[in-house]
Amino acid sequence: MAADASSVPTSQPALRHDWTRAEVEALFALPFNDLLFQAQSLHRQYHRPNSVQLSTLLSIKTGACPEDCAYCPQSVRFETGLKKEPLLDVEVVLEAAREAKDNGATRFCMGAAWRSPKDRDLERVEAMVRGVKAMGLETCVTLGMLKPAQAERLAGAGLDYYNHNLDTSPEYYGKIISTRTYEDRLDTLANVRAAGVKVCCGGIVGMGEEQSDRAGLLQQLANLSPHPESVPINDLVQVAGTPLKGADSLGGIEFVRVIAVARILMPASYVRLSAGRTAMSDETQALAFFAGANSIFYGEKLLTTENPQNARDRALLVQLGIQTEGAVAPSAAAEAGAGCGAGAAAAATSCCG
């Protein structure tokens, strides 16, 4: 009997957490077809090859962020014309989550433009997490830096994923942001892990960095132990008023290389096509799926930037023969989040992946 092409083999290579920069750069140097063949072959050992997970991202508090991330229109330091909005009411967020689920999303991500949340703000965010969880959706938030006790509170509300990106390589990081250190980001990831919440962590490409910096970012991610369960890769969305407006664009082939190398380094993780898809051709996205991307942000907006319309995404997935993952049953989701903390990735214009 022929093997089911949608099945996942039971034998899988061991995951590594000791990649050297030279090894990662050597992957980037492979001929394009060889790189994609290796990535797709490995992808099939861990995932269904024609399946994609859909996430929806909502900005629950917009603008007035004190950080100086050079890519972000939500920074109070840049004149981008963005209208700031306070933390949304819980019911407004839950209504958006219901709509996202009706449109096929299985994970609902909530992003707030904070350097770090104040304890008084967490009570409302916890209510959002509990409400979204009760719908049978996976939950993810990105709120900036977290203290250990804050991570524990979110875990207690049933949070599944916390997003906190590394953005770029340690060497290039200082050219992008000065108000938060690389170690600050790693500390938040450690606090999230210690609380039992899964990690969504990736970065942004196309910010003027060299290929060695893209290799450095992926090396950092791949040497986290365990790997981030979700790895969002953002292609910079340039916004007028930000310092990175006018940066050289990366190009589709190099973006697909990043996806392929991420898949090889972190074969069991979900690799998400995040910000920047509006400007991508269908052909570039198809190559990215072949290279190992198996998650997308689905919906017409990512925090404050445009995203492909749902109809365009559906048409592309149908054309490629890619199916979407099914929703989590509400009863199972409620049981998974009851009393145990964690359950079972932003955009290029924010700290969320």
**Per the structure block, which two tokens stand in for 287?**
């190559």
Q: Are 90 and 128 in contact (CB under 8 A)?
A: yes
For residues 75 and 68, give the distance between their C-alpha atoms in angstroms, rounded to a whole number. 6
What DSSP state is assigned to residue 165? -
| SS3 track for 233-270 | EEECCCCCCCCCCCCCCCCHHHHHHHHHHHHHHCCCCE
Q: Are 346 and 140 in contact (CB under 8 A)?
A: no
Which one is catalytic: 107, 109, 153, 277? Answer: 109
Residue in this structure with the two tokens 């490995």, named with its chain if needed:
42
For residues 225 and 14, give the distance between their C-alpha atoms in angstroms, rounded to a whole number. 13
Residues within the annotated binding site for [4Fe-4S] cluster? 65, 69, 72
Which one is catalytic: 130, 185, 193, 200? Answer: 200
Alpha-carbon distances, residue 294 vs 81, 283, 350 (angstroms): 34, 16, 22
**Per the structure block, which two tokens stand in for 105?**
């999303």
Residues within the annotated binding site? 65, 69, 72, 109, 140, 200, 272
Burial of 159 (0-12, 13-18, 19+ CB in 10 A): buried
Q: Are 179 and 115 in contact (CB under 8 A)?
A: yes
Which one is catalytic: 65, 201, 351, 352? Answer: 65
Which one is catalytic: 263, 272, 351, 352? Answer: 272
User: Catalytic residue at 272?
Assistant: yes
Q: What string of DSSP letters covers 34-66?
A: HHHHHHHHHHHHHS-TTEEEEEEEEEEEBS-B-
Return the number of other C-beta atoms located less than 10 Å from residue 352's C-beta: 33
Which one is catalytic: 69, 201, 351, 352? Answer: 69
Closest CA to 198 of 149, 138, 130: 138
User: Catalytic residue at 65?
Assistant: yes
For residues 27 and 257, give the distance between their C-alpha atoms in angstroms, rounded to a whole number. 9
Residues within the annotated binding site for [2Fe-2S] cluster? 109, 140, 200, 272
User: Catalytic residue at 352?
Assistant: no
User: Catalytic residue at 201?
Assistant: no
Which one is catalytic: 140, 201, 351, 352? Answer: 140
Catalytic residues: 65, 69, 72, 109, 140, 200, 272
